[in-house]
Structure 1
């Protein structure tokens, strides 16, 4: 292997690790499906019969079924559970107000809050995407003080997430006031995946070019192993010293 080939292979390995970690963190294809299906079912049924009750119940039931499927397959359920909570809040809010558009309002407010969280944490020097992905890459928060290049990449990614979600909110909130329920619902469904994919892709681009993460778990294991070896060596020295005293 030449000196030119090794960096290329290292870069490819880094990109592969980054891609796998992002896929795990954001739920992959199934996570996207679980995010879209309840809202799609709600707006589809409401478009046909204009019945808030049956539209809301159908969305809640399908979100619960997605969790059951995850549990039956012993898969990670965090994405499905987050979908259930989101749908449940939407159903409860719409039922209380009697306005079908309010099914979407909790999710819209959550999106706005998340956008602000990405922007504010980045301005504070602790970009949220780094906090979320640090454990996935086994680096925790080591990037804050020990890996400035990686911190810069996390800041860029957090800005991307914040601005993309903020742009999405700037489209949806006016529609909440001006559009009817079916118009808002179909546009919201259409805006579920593309902004998400754009933000994930930009995150991958920034992190693939960043320095490799510092594996703090491996460091801790190495320190523990070194400590055990020091204790064993100290014990051997004490035993040797004891035998020496007995022999003399």
Structure 2
């Protein structure tokens, strides 16, 4: 299916089915994570925001391993002990998820990230390399977002369009397209700001500050971006009600 854009002649009328299929998959992933309900909500409650962040358990799984590594390394200055404590905690979280059959994907992803980061740090013997994987992850997301904006298929629009049951029809509306571009820029700011703050700390070998900023610019900053995105979605879809 080719999407026409009569309201905005400058928009590309092609890139059709591949973008639609990709957007639908992104929306399904967002739905499973709890972001779908948040996007469709007319009012923003703490409960909805908490659900979009993965719930209390998801927050603990996201924050605690990194916090344990930072505290343990700050106290002991022992890389191996700090990594064992951090990765061991991630293993416990994953095992609990598997035993309870409670959506283990997030815990498994966290465990894989912690494991790869630990291997890098052990390989170099440098504690700051425990954070290198995060740099590449943020770079990858930032590049994907820049490309999506450049080709006028902003990623946030692809996700929100399918969550709202509109598919890619939002691209026919100049106003919605601009709002989705702004929302996607907000997410770009998330990843770029992390790199702008954390990479210099890595270069000056300030492990404690790097670890602290990694935590502060993790879930808290992510929550602020979710709130900003919700506000922009409400502007684009002011009367949208839950359809799922």
How far apart are the structure 2 equivalents of 1:146 and 1:29?
A: 39
Does 1:68 pair with 2:95? yes
Task: Name the one with the larger helix percent.
Answer: 1
1:235 paired residue number? none
Larger Rg: 1
Q: Give the alignment partner of residue 206 of structure 2, picking from 154, 159, 180.
A: 180
1:44 paired residue number? 71
Kindly report which structure 2 residues correspond to 1:109-188, keeping only aligned pairs within 5 A, or say none.
Answer: 109-133=136-160, 137=163, 139=165, 141-145=167-171, 149-188=175-214
How far apart are the structure 2 equivalents of 1:183 and 1:208?
A: 36
How far apart are the structure 2 equivalents of 1:93 and 1:164?
A: 24
1:222 paired residue number? none
- CA-CA distance at 1:150 after TM superposition: 4.5
1:81 paired residue number? 108
Does 1:204 pair with 2:204? no
Q: Which whole-Å deviations, capped at 9, do the CAs of 1:41-76 have from their partners, x for residues lacking one?
A: 111111111111111121111112222223334332
Q: Give the alignment partner of residue 80 of structure 2, picking from 53, 67, 91.
A: 53
TM-score (norm 2): 0.71
How far apart are the structure 2 equivalents of 1:39 and 1:173?
A: 17
Q: Which whole-Å deviations, capped at 9, do the CAs of 1:105-147 have from their partners, x for residues lacking one?
A: 1012212221232232122222222344555x26374345466
How far apart are the structure 1 equivalents of 2:181 and 2:242?
A: 17
CA spacing shift, 1:123–1:179, aligned 2, 3 Å: same
- CA-CA distance at 1:178 after TM superposition: 0.7
How far apart are the structure 1 equivalents of 2:184 and 2:70?
A: 31
Q: How many equivalent residue pairs?
A: 203
- CA-CA distance at 1:20 after TM superposition: 8.2
Q: Which whole-Å deviations, capped at 9, do the CAs of 1:220-239 have from their partners, x for residues lacking one?
A: xxxxxxxxxxxxxxxxxxxx
CA spacing shift, 1:17–1:202, aligned 2, 3 Å: closer
Higher relative contact order (CA 8 A, sep 6+): 2
How far apart are the structure 2 equivalents of 1:154 and 1:20?
A: 25
Q: Which whole-Å deviations, capped at 9, do the CAs of 1:73-106 have from their partners, x for residues lacking one?
A: 4332232222112111111111111111000110
1:4 paired residue number? none
How far apart are the structure 2 equivalents of 1:78 and 1:154?
A: 28
Consecutive unaligned residues of structure 2, counting only runs of 5 or more, are 1-39
Contact 1:63 / 1:84 at 8 angstroms: preserved in 2?
A: yes
Contact 1:101 / 1:176 at 8 angstroms: preserved in 2?
A: yes
